Amino acid sequence: MTYIHNTIARLKKTSPAQAEFYQAVEEILDSLQPILETNEKYKAHAIIERMVEPERQIMFRVPWVDDQGNVQVNKGYRIEFNSALGPYKGGLRFHPSVNASIIKFLGFEQVFKNALTGLPIGGGKGGANFDPKGKSDAEIMRFCQSFINELYRHIGPTSDVPAGDIGVGAREIGYMFGQYKRLTGNYDGVFTGKSLLWGGSLVRKEATGYGCVYFAQYMLEDHNQSLAGKTCLVSGAGNVAIYTIEKLYELGARPITCSDSSGTLYHETGINLATLKELKEVRKVRLAEYLQYHSDARYIPASDYPADGHAVWRFPADLAFPCATQNELTAQDAQALVANGVIAISEGANMPSTQDAVEVFLDANICYGPGKAANAGGVATSQLEMAQNASMQTWSFAKVDEKLKVIMKNIYRNARDTAVEFGEPNNLVLGANIAGFRKVADAMIEQGVV
DSSP 241-261: HHHHHHHHHHTT-EE-EEEET
Is 125 marked active-site?
yes
Q: Which domains can be identified in the chain, with CATH numbers?
A: 2-188 (3.40.50.10860), 205-369 (3.40.50.720)
**Cα(153)–Cα(291) distance, integer angstroms:** 47
* Helix (H) / strand (E) containing 62: strand 56-65
Confidence class for position 122, pLDDT limits 50, 70, 90: very high
**Cα(150)–Cα(47) distance, integer angstroms:** 31
Instruction: Give per-residue pLDDT as tens, 132-141.
Output: 999 999 999 9
CA contacts within 13 A on the Cβ side of 201: 32
Q: Residue 376: which of 410, 427, 422, 418 has the closest Cα?
A: 410
Contact 346, 227 (CB under 8 A): no
**Cα(425)–Cα(427) distance, integer angstroms:** 6
Instruction: Give per-residue pLDDT as tens, 198-232.
Output: 999 999 999 999 999 999 999 999 999 999 999 99
Query: Which residue pairs from 385-394 have beta carbons closer than 8 angstroms and sit at least 24 positions apart in sequence?
Result: 385/189, 385/192, 385/193, 385/194, 385/199, 385/200, 385/201, 385/204, 386/157, 386/161, 386/189, 386/192, 388/199, 388/201, 389/157, 389/188, 389/189, 389/199, 390/157, 390/189, 394/201, 394/202
Instruction: Give per-residue pLDDT as tens, 83-99.
Output: 999 999 999 999 999 99
Confidence class for position 1, pLDDT limits 50, 70, 90: low
**Cα(169)–Cα(72) distance, integer angstroms:** 22
Q: pLDDT value at position 352?
A: 97
**Cα(179)–Cα(150) distance, integer angstroms:** 11
Contact 75, 59 (CB under 8 A): yes
- Residues 143-168 have a mean pLDDT of 97
The DSSP-derived string for 260-285 is ETTEEEE-TT---HHHHHIIIIII--
End-to-end alpha carbon distance in the chain: 26
Instruction: Give per-residue pLDDT as tens, 61-86.
Output: 999 999 999 999 999 999 999 999 99
Q: pLDDT value at position 3?
A: 79
Q: pLDDT value at position 139?
A: 98
Contact 107, 160 (CB under 8 A): no
**Cα(366)–Cα(226) distance, integer angstroms:** 15
* Helix (H) / strand (E) containing 170: helix 170-184
Instruction: Give per-residue pLDDT as tens, 377-401.
Output: 999 999 999 999 999 999 999 999 9
Considering the candidates 89, 113, 125, 194, report the single residue annotated as catalytic.
125
Q: Residue 151: which of 130, 120, 128, 129 has the closest Cα?
A: 128
Task: Look up residue 98 and give its amino acid.
Answer: V
Q: What is the radius of gyration, based on Cα positions, of the chain?
A: 21
Contact 89, 163 (CB under 8 A): yes
* Helix (H) / strand (E) containing 289: none
Q: Report the 10 Å Cβ neighbour count for 258.
A: 29
Instruction: State the burial class of residue 197 (Cβ atoms within 10 Å of its Cβ: 0-12, 13-18, 19+).
Output: exposed
Confidence class for position 5, pLDDT limits 50, 70, 90: confident
The pTM of the whole model exceeds 0.75: yes
Q: pLDDT value at position 4?
A: 80
